[in-house]
Chains A and B, each alone.
Chain A
Amino acid sequence: MSITVHITTRLILIIVSLLLTACSTNVTVSGDYPSALTKPLPYHVGLVLDNSFTNYTFESSKEQDVTVALGQSQTKLFEQVLTDIFSNKSRLQTVPTQAASSTHNVDLIIVPHVEEVQLAMPFETHLNVFEVWIKYNLQVFNSEGEPIADWLMSSYGKTQTRFLKSEEAALNQATTTALRDAGVRLIIGFERIPEIRAWIEQKELEARLKGTQENTQNLAQGGDQ
């Protein structure tokens, strides 16, 4: 008798938990991002990714509970893209202060933050597509920890619902597409940020001046001999 009651209780609990989770969508984004076909900038970049970025999870409870954990996937993307667009990359814990700057030996420090994530799902829009928008704020610092630029970068991804494809799979695909688009913005747009452009020009000018000075010194030494 007690065994029957025990089994019935278990069955009820399973049914209740199934009913509770039936109307929720939980996705842990998993995507692979290709290497970028680009000529690396000749600088050493430091990447600071805090816990709010690496463990970022979007949650919404409008009509339906939706949870999208994209921290791990976006970390993978930023690591990959920054490795490709700079000749050297290091992972830093924090933005170094002026005093500690010499120990890290980096030219630029990038600290990305997720500003906003928006989802549009078929039950909201009555369209046959899943759409994802991600807005990032990229804070860029020089080697001494002084801010150079604050870049708001938005990306977009969508996928059409396909026959027999689950909501989770469609949402994962749309988010991966949005992250891939973020990579495009980062690779192509980074150099075009006016403050970054100015910083690069300054660095190039310094390098040219240094080269000229070295040449002059060499010529002078050659003349003495």
Chain B
Amino acid sequence: MSGHHPLQPYPFSTALFALILLFLLTLTGCSTSTVIDEYRTTNTKLDLNKGEQVVIMGRRHAGEYETEPDFINCISNRIATSGKLSVIPEQEFLDSFYPWFEPRVAPLKLKRMSRMLEEPIIAERIKALGIRYMVWVDGNTETTDKSGSFSCAIAPGGGGCFGFATWDKASIYEAIVWDLKQLDEKGRVKVETKGSSYLLAVGAPIPFIAQVQSDACKGIGNRLKGFFLHGGGSQQEPQKTTGHQGNTES
């Protein structure tokens, strides 16, 4: 076996190395790490009577970012999938209470919310829709770093891409639970997810995308669901979890 066969331009060891590299990239490439910090004011699960609903709302008053509506929908769906909780969609709630929860005038503190509830027209609508808990989610997902480059070209004989690019994303969100019946805060959940994505292009581009926002949604959604379905400690220690390809369940 001296020399290489003309149809086998790369030695076996090179191909093996490329395969191992690809495998390692798959394993480590799109990993995410999630840290969840939870605080509850009571050990027991939150009361939610028949006909009462929860609304998850995003904060959009800051100029430099907005809490993504897709992220709020993701949390709402995650909480509602248990089938035991009734969640009113954010847009439906905003339209029902227009203009009182629009970014310009939405209450930032519970004190302002209680003053708003002194308006009979707002209090009646809250009662009619059975809104018991309001969960405000503040934060966003952003690209924190990116490097590398790749380019694609098309020629009469075909086309392809070549290069390598990587980017890091971070999702930082905090959810605050307000009880509109007792007019107090029931707890907070803070989630911080970070992850790196890669794009390897040798002919065809092969992406390894870290599901950063999706993992943050899972983390915050599961904890919020726990507020209504399970009891908990008065104050839990922050938990750190890591996962690959979006497996960040704590």
Chain A contacts to B: CB under 8 angstroms: 33-39, 158, 160, 180-181, 183-185, 187-188
Contact = CB atoms under 8 A, between A and B. Distances in A.
B125 interface: yes
B105 interface: yes
A21 B125 CA distance: 48
Nearest to A156: B104
Contact of B104 (A35, A39, A184): A184
Nearest to B125: A37
Contacts of A188: 99, 105
Contacts of B121: 37-39
A184 B103 CA distance: 10
B98 A37 contact: yes
Interface residues of B, number: 16
Nearest to A36: B98
B27 interface: no
Contact of B98 (A35, A39, A158, A185): A35
Contacts of B23: none
B66 to A, nearest CB: 7
A180 B102 contact: yes
A39 B95 CA distance: 16
B100 interface: yes
B150 interface: no
A68 to B, nearest CB: 21
Nearest to A32: B95
B122 interface: yes
A45 B98 CA distance: 21
Nearest to A157: B103
A33 B66 CA distance: 21
Given A39-B121, A158-B66, A160-B66, A34 B105 contact: no
Contacts of A36: 98-99
A6 B68 CA distance: 51
A183 B104 contact: no
Nearest to B63: A158
A180 B100 CA distance: 12
Given A34-B95, A181-B102, 12 more contacts: A36-B99, A37-B97, A37-B99, A37-B122, A38-B99, A39-B121, A160-B66, A160-B68, A183-B99, A184-B98, A184-B99, A188-B105
Q: Which 10 pairs from chain A and chain B are nearest by CB?
A: A34-B95, A184-B99, A34-B98, A184-B102, A187-B99, A184-B104, A37-B97, A36-B98, A39-B121, A37-B121
A95 to B, nearest CB: 27
Nearest to A184: B99
B96 interface: yes
Most chain B beta-carbon neighbours within 10 Å: one of A37, A38, A181: A37
Contacts of B105: 184, 188
Most chain A beta-carbon neighbours within 10 Å: one of B68, B96, B104: B104
Interface string B85-122: 00000000011111110111100000000000000011
Contacts of A185: 104
A181 B103 CA distance: 8
A37 B102 contact: no
A131 to B, nearest CB: 9
Interface in B13-48: none
Contacts of B99: 36-38, 183-184, 187-188
Contacts of A181: 102-104
B14 to A, nearest CB: 35
A187 B99 CA distance: 8
A80 to B, nearest CB: 10
Given A180-B102, A188-B105, A37 B66 contact: no
